[in-house]
Amino acid sequence: MKKTVLICGAGGFIGGHLAASLIKEKKFNIICADIKPFKHWFQFFDKAINFSLDLKELKNCLKVTDNVDYIYNMACNMGGMGFIENNKAECMLSVLINTNLLRASLQNKISKYFFSSSACVYNITKQSKNFVQGLKEEDAYPAQPEDGYGWEKLFSERMCRHFEEDYGLSTRVARYHNVYGSFGTFDGGREKAPAALCRKIIRAKLEKKNSIDIWGDGEQTRSFLYIDDCITGTKKVFNSNYSDVFNIGSEQQVTINQMIEIIEEIADYNVKKKYQLNKPKGVRGRSSDNSFTNKQIGWAPVFSLKEGLIKTYNWIYEEIISGRDIKKFSNK
């Protein structure tokens, strides 16, 4: 008998790619759930059982977890830095999703539960300079995460830990570092830097404009993880024998300006940068230290930033020139 896997947040970016990967394996029965109407899911699969409902409600969590073996909780209310900094309460309400999925997991006897956390849990005092040392898992404590979204993720990590300690529910946790790629948001206010910059340069080239707006001074640093590497790492964490928290990120740290240069090369089009110093910028520098992840479960990224950006740029370009982006984002 095939095991049944529930993917929460399957209509979103990472959840959609995870669903695609697990369906391709043909090893599991797949159930997909997301709060968005089906027409707004980034990827939709007829081979899965699909639900559009609000997982902040316990009754809905009980419904979708019935007769399920494994849960991947990828569901949360989030976006790029602009959304996170301006919607702290909305981001924190996602704690209800994790809370009620964990409660439903006990009632419906779930075998294993995965929670998708974020590098936003890391202590902000360790991210105040450019090109900071890669963050290790223990650097989340003493706790001083990013306000709102970061606190919700850190609290939810602790919930998973204590549900395993107190109730014996097998839990797995991964901290994602700036995941990007195709079949995700690149316009509308929730997009992250790689997608936003690809879109801006594509539109500048198509409209023959010579400049784009940049949030901050462009010298803030990050590491960016391509989606295929994220999915491989996610499944390795889930299938491991460890309930530790694992970094799933890239160690290739770049400034925003350096990433723009890579995208300009891909586009074969150069732009002037108009720096907007009053916009949300987040921490000054952040990167992942993958030494623990590599040692324990043997995972490391395969795609370089340029390789991932080429794939992302080409997908966004096709969405824009086809007009699919206008319909997609005007209806949200």
CATH number of 205's domain: 3.90.25.10
Distance CA 67, CA 196 (A): 40
Same domain assignment for residues 44 and 111: yes
Q: Which two tokens stand for residue 62?
A: 């009980």
| Phi, psi angles (nearest 5°) of residue 173 | -135, 135
pLDDT tens figures, 156-197? 999 999 999 999 999 999 999 999 999 999 998 889 999 999
pLDDT at 280: 86
Same domain assignment for residues 143 and 261: no
CB 278 within 8 A of CB 246: no
Give the catalytic positions in this structure.
149
Distance CA 209, CA 199 (A): 13
Domain contains 231:
yes
pLDDT digit string (tens) for the chain, length 332 residues: 899 999 999 999 999 999 999 999 999 999 999 999 999 999 999 999 999 999 999 999 999 999 999 999 999 998 888 888 889 999 999 999 999 999 999 999 999 999 999 999 999 999 999 988 999 999 999 999 999 999 999 999 999 999 999 999 999 999 999 999 999 999 988 899 999 999 999 999 999 999 999 999 999 999 999 999 999 999 999 999 999 999 999 999 999 999 999 999 999 999 999 999 998 888 999 999 999 999 999 999 999 999 999 999 999 999 999 987 655 544 33
Output the pTM of the full model: 0.95
pLDDT tens figures, 105-133? 999 999 999 999 999 999 999 999 998 89
Domain contains 120:
yes
Same domain assignment for residues 80 and 216: no
- Taking alpha carbons only, the member of 301, 290, 87 closest to residue 179 is 301
Interacting residues of 108 by C-beta distance below 8 A, sequence separation 6+: 62, 65, 66, 67, 68
Q: Which domain holds residue 316?
A: 193-222+253-284+305-330
Domain contains 294:
no
pLDDT at 215: 93
| Phi, psi angles (nearest 5°) of residue 306 | -65, -40
Distance CA 5, CA 16 (A): 14
Number of domains into which the chain is organized: 2
CB 226 within 8 A of CB 155: no
Distances (CA, A) of 76 to 17, 19, 105, 117, 245: 16, 16, 18, 10, 18
Same domain assignment for residues 272 and 173: no
pLDDT at 325: 60
Average predicted confidence (pLDDT) for the chain: 95
